Amino acid sequence: MATIEVQRQLLPILDSPNQGARFYNPELPSSEPFVPGHRTCAGCGPSIQYRMTSKAAGDNTILVGPTGCMYVANSSYLCTPYNVPWAHTQIGSAGSFTAGVAAAYEAMIRKGKWKGAFPNIICEAGDGSASDIGLASISGALYRNHDCLIICYDNEQYANTGIQASSRTPYGGMTTFSPPGPEVPEGKKLFPKDLARMMAAGHPHCYVATASVGYPIDLMNKVRKGLNHKGAAYLMVYTPCQKGFVYETPRSIDLGRLVVECGLYPMWEWNPEKRAFDYSFRPASMRPVSEYLKLQGRFGHLHAEHIATLQKFANEQWRMMGVALPEALIHATDAKNLVNMAAAAEAEAVAQTL
């Protein structure tokens, strides 16, 4: 059987502007696969991610949208803002549907029914679909190495059903399933599932990376690297949710930067050729986690020891990245050093005296 030449769109990598002395973005593609007129909330993080991803991918793209915010808010009455082919699938079948689309194009090319370049097949799953309900199907698609990019836009909760906890909800995050109270003052006691690392460890032949909307060019480059990678790729993107995180809408991009600067969302890439993690990404500065937490209403109930616990978690992430910790961050892991914050026991006493 003659080998079939598959034409691939090798998308160029953009220059990163943050290394330069000035701020000036590289020339971006003019095509706009994601257009206005959708009903996401003002300042929606997943929507920012969706736009950047689709802009990086270009016009020859097929989007798969399992149930989640980006399906529910965007496609009511069959009116969608997608300027490229888009299809909805059930929340649990994100991976299998995407694998099917990829396999269909592979088959059509093999049979000579598709002449153009192989399309960019992108699955945009929320963290509910990617980390809980659709985990098995996504793992299957990655395992079988279909030529697609599976993105988990991680807003750390089930947002479109009204803010319920997912396995990506961070320690201390308040949701309707993890309300803080006298018994469990921190709200959520469990730490989030390390989803991207799990995907990298379990499917080492895939390109896996984490990204954040706070670093747009880095995000777009990782999308392009994932699409250029021959085989399956997986990308987990931090996307703040204004309703669930309870912050002021202008802060969407700011939070995307702060979460990385505070060490709560380590940015890395898994290199499938070398079978190694690349931890070379460094934010402009390192900050204590309190700077990230204080902007969000969902962490408003935390006491000093909870913040110290989160700081310990962040410090572990920094160590994992191989970053030497400054004294201030080690200092902040002791609840006693977090001034003006009442400890949980004292806070209870205060409430009773009132």
Partner 1 sequence: MSTKGTRIPERLQIPFAGITPAPSQEKGQDLFPTGNWRSIRPVYRDKLPPCNNACGTNEKIQGYLDLVKRGKYLDAYALIKEDMPFPSVTGRVCYHPCEQACNRGKYDEAISIRAVERFLGDLGQALTHDVVKAGKSNGKKVAVVGSGPAGHSAAYQLARLGYTVTILEKSPKAGGLNRGGIPDWVLPQNVLDREIERLEQLGVTIKTNVEVGKDVTWDDLKKNYDACVLAVGLTEPNSVRAEGENKDGVLYGLPFLRDIGMGTSKVKLGARVAVIGGGNTAIDCAREALRQGAVEVTMITVEANPQEMPAVPEDLHDMREEGVDLMHGRAVTAVLGNGKVEALQLHPARFSGAINASPITVDRDAAAQRFAVDNVIIAVGQRASLKWLPDEFKTERGTIKIDRFGRLGDTNIFAAGDIVQLGSGQPLMVVNAVGDGKRVAFNLDKVMRGEALQPRTIAVDVIFDLNRMNMTYFPHFPRVQQELLPPASRKKTQDEVIQAFTEEAAVEEANRCFSCGTCNACDNCYLVCPEPCIARSERSNGMYKILVDYCKGCRVCIEECPTGCLEGVPELDFDTGVVRMDTAFAISPGLHGRQAEELRNLGDRAAKNI
Binding piece for partner 1, criterion CB under 8 A, among 33-41, 117-125, 262-270, 333-341: 33-41
Q: Which is nearer to partner 1, 75 or 166 (CB)?
A: 75
| Residue 105 binds to partner 1 (criterion: CB under 8 A) | no
Choosing from 11, 45, 67, 125, the residue that interacts with partner 1 (CB under 8 A) is 45
DSSP assignment of 83-150 equals SS-EEEE-GGGHHHHHHHHHHHHHHHHHTT---SPPPEEEEEEEHIIIIIITHHHHHHHHHTT-S-EE
Residues 302-321: x where in contact with partner 1 by CB under 8 A, - otherwise, as a string: --------------------
Least distance (Å) from partner 1 to the CB of residue 293? 19
Choosing from 68, 81, 263, 288, the residue that interacts with partner 1 (CB under 8 A) is 81
Q: Which is nearer to partner 1, 12 or 250 (CB)?
A: 250
* 285 Rama class: left (phi>0) / alpha (psi -120 to 50) / beta: beta
| Residue 115 binds to partner 1 (criterion: CB under 8 A) | no
Choosing from 2, 5, 37, 115, the residue that interacts with partner 1 (CB under 8 A) is 37
Binding piece for partner 1, criterion CB under 8 A, among 25-33, 143-151, 303-311, 319-327: 25-33
Rounded-to-integer distance, Cα 93 and Cα 66, Å: 7
The dihedral through the CA atoms of 37, 38, 39, 41 has a sign that is negative
Would you call 74 exposed, middle or buried from its count of C-beta atoms within 10 A (0-12, 13-18, 19+)?
A: buried
Choosing from 16, 25, 161, 280, the residue that interacts with partner 1 (CB under 8 A) is 25
CA-atom Rg of the chain in angstroms: 21
Shortest CA distance to 259 belongs to which of 221, 236, 289? 289
Binding piece for partner 1, criterion CB under 8 A, among 64-72, 79-87, 130-138, 306-314: 79-87
Q: Which is nearer to partner 1, 121 or 135 (CB)?
A: 121
